[in-house]
Structure 1
């Protein structure tokens, strides 16, 4: 079996005291591997590529909760809008508007997480605090326009480093931004509650810093084969 069921059960036990959920990152992995983890009880799966996720969604059980966790181009939203549950990496007002538009066409409501840039690497996507506040101002002033999306929380990626204190500082910073947004812009929105931080290498720190969702792939599925995408 390609998946690590021992690691899966251990991760679930570690998440339980924090009431956090596992997003099993299945990018580049075959549907058979997802099925094996599904049969073990997992229902939330995260994918980074639109075509790959759409192909898998078409052949896998209908009760899977699909999360799109990669960088999403506005012109690709229409392909996942019929079924995606949560989009983790909303990094512009333009993208938020397009998700709302495509969700309305499909008579759905899609959960969105705003991606905040907290890492040192410029290659990582995400908005800074000023951009987030500008987006939220536009959203709160025109909430009736955005009837088909929910801003359900924030997402971020820490710097790729072995310095745990730096990772902790970045996650802590994001949690403070989360609390500030909840207490100002979205204090009347009970669904603003998700903090998507933590991956295979740093999820323990993320949990301690308030994560409600961890995105874990390699610990469950092994190394990825990018030749398959």
Structure 2
């Protein structure tokens, strides 16, 4: 077994344990292998070990990998996204995690409309209000969701956050809980084109806590592929 295959096996077991701890079905949690800045070879290796979903953060790198690999992967875009780059993602991503403003959502709607398709998106919130990170302010959540949900060619599937980093995952727990609660409050509004099915939260060091707080998508890179250059 390769190192990547062994890492994936260990992470899947950790996901199973976290789900058992909080009474969840492990099938309700999906692993997103964060492959940014990693070569196609290791993506192929992870795919051979049964990994299906891969997350990329840079548009040019993403498009190059999609063309080079030609594998039946489920690609998610998880990084900050500029409106003028959206056209390069059109029809190639199963889910965009990082929609944090109306202008970006409008451009995604416009681009997917050109192929008569519906883009699946998550709304990203910056719960720690860190200037170095993307994400909308949670106080604007309802107004933002209402405006975005009124756009055609979009389906809002849930929420995403990238909380402040703490060595102790328990210190991150309140941010995961707040995202879940924010999702519950938005779901109660019964907005069109909103299905609060996904919570994208938790990374290599804290995904078990995120699962306990309701994560359905955990974004893991380092624990699978090792540290990025």
Identify whether the pair has TM-score above 0.5, normalized to the shorter chain: yes
Q: Paired residue for 2:22? A: none
Conservation of the 8 A alpha-carbon contact between 1:3 and 1:36: no
Structure 2, unpaired ranges of 5+: 20-25
Residues 44/218 of structure 1: CA separation in 2 closer, same or farther (3 Å cut):
same
| Contact persistence 2:96–2:120 (CA under 8 A) | yes
Question: What count of residue pairs does the alignment treat as equivalent?
Answer: 220
Aligned partners of 2:115, 2:47: CA distance in 1, in Å? 26
Partner residue in 2 for 1:72: 81
The alignment status of 1:167 with 2:176, answered yes or no, reads: no
The match for 2:121 among 106, 112, 119 is: 112
Q: 1:157 maps to which residue?
A: 162
TM-score, normalised by the number of residues in structure 2: 0.89
Say if 1:2 and 1:221, in contact at 8 Å, map to a contact too. no
CA contact (8 A) 2:125 2:160 kept: yes
Say if 1:2 and 1:33, in contact at 8 Å, map to a contact too: no
Structure 2 counterpart of 1:87: 96
CA contact 2:169–2:205 (8 Å) conserved in 1:
no
> Are 2:202 and 1:198 aligned?
yes
**Partners of 1:4 and 1:219 within 8 A in 2:** no
CA displacement 1:118-167 (0-9 Å, x = unmatched): 12532111111232211122234x3xxx3311100000012112243330
Cα distance between partner residues in 2 of 1:147 and 1:63 = 27
Map of 1:223 onto structure 2: 227
Aligned with residue 48 of structure 1, among 57, 76, 79:
57
**Which runs of 4 or more aligned residues in structure 1 lie more than 6 Å from their structure 2 counterparts after TM superposition?**
none
In structure 1, the residue matched to 2:6 is 6
In structure 1, stretches of 5+ residues that fail to align are none
Give the alignment's TM-score, normalised by structure 1.
Answer: 0.89
